Amino acid sequence: MINMFGKLSYLWLALLLVGCASPKPLPASRPFVFQQDTFAFTNQTAWDYHIDPATGKTTHTRTEPPPSYSHHCFVVARSAVQFFHHAKFDPSQPVADAAAYRRLIRRVISRSPLAEEPDDKRIVIPGYANLFAFSQAQGELLKANCGGAWESYFQRGHWRMIFPLTRNHQAKMAAQLLKSVEQNTPAVAHIVRFPQLSINHAVLLFAAEERLDEIQFTAYDPNNPAKSIVLTFNRARSRFTFPATPYFAGGRVDVYQVYGAWNY
């Protein structure tokens, strides 16, 4: 979801100027696995981005033909967490019909992304081994029932990006995100540069590697289900950097976790 906020978004931000609360990571029973716990389909960009390699300046034109599924990065990242916490896949059962899967998807999406369910309370998805296989076969049903683009426009944590994200805040955020993924609890991160909105995106962090001078977070990017991406936190500068992609020139970004507290 890049360069997509208009006047309605700012109105929503103004309505959500409330206090800050830090989410508490809740340990999960197993690690999150890329291309097993992720979706097989792509959140498409509504724009074709043209990045000047010499200056990093980005221009864009509308994608033609218009994408059929775009502006869903927050929805896709959040939904992956909800399936990770609340669904259980059973490939030994026969494939169900569309109506049954529609009901099951909506039940999963109705649950909180904050904590996982015990095995006996999970929603059983028959006919498939994992979310990736399920979304390869039932992608259109998942797209139609996981949530609309408006949920990315009006994600409840958007109010936070209009206030300064200081180096101290970013250092605390890096520690918070590290603790979360070390406990096998994937975290949805809002990646942004405000007010220019050269990037305004959501990824799902699921692993991290600590080095002397930095932390490298491995992330699922809804815009690229084929390959994970690395978000880096530099300890000395207390700043995050995001790599170059087809939609971003690469460089410093601000980061904070969403879907981890009542006001985020």
Sequence ranges of the domains in the chain: 7-258
Query: Residues in the chain with pLDDT < 50?
Result: 2, 4-8, 10-23, 25
Q: Residue 130 has what pLDDT?
A: 98
Distance CA 135, CA 124 (A): 15
Going 106 to 110 to 113 to 117, the CA torsion angle's sign is negative
The per-residue pLDDT for 7 is 43
Q: For position 59, what pLDDT does the model report?
A: 63
Q: Which amino acid is at 6?
A: G
At residue 26, the pLDDT reads: 54
Helix axes 98-109, 73-86, angle to 10 degrees: 90
Helices (H), 52-118: 73-86, 98-109
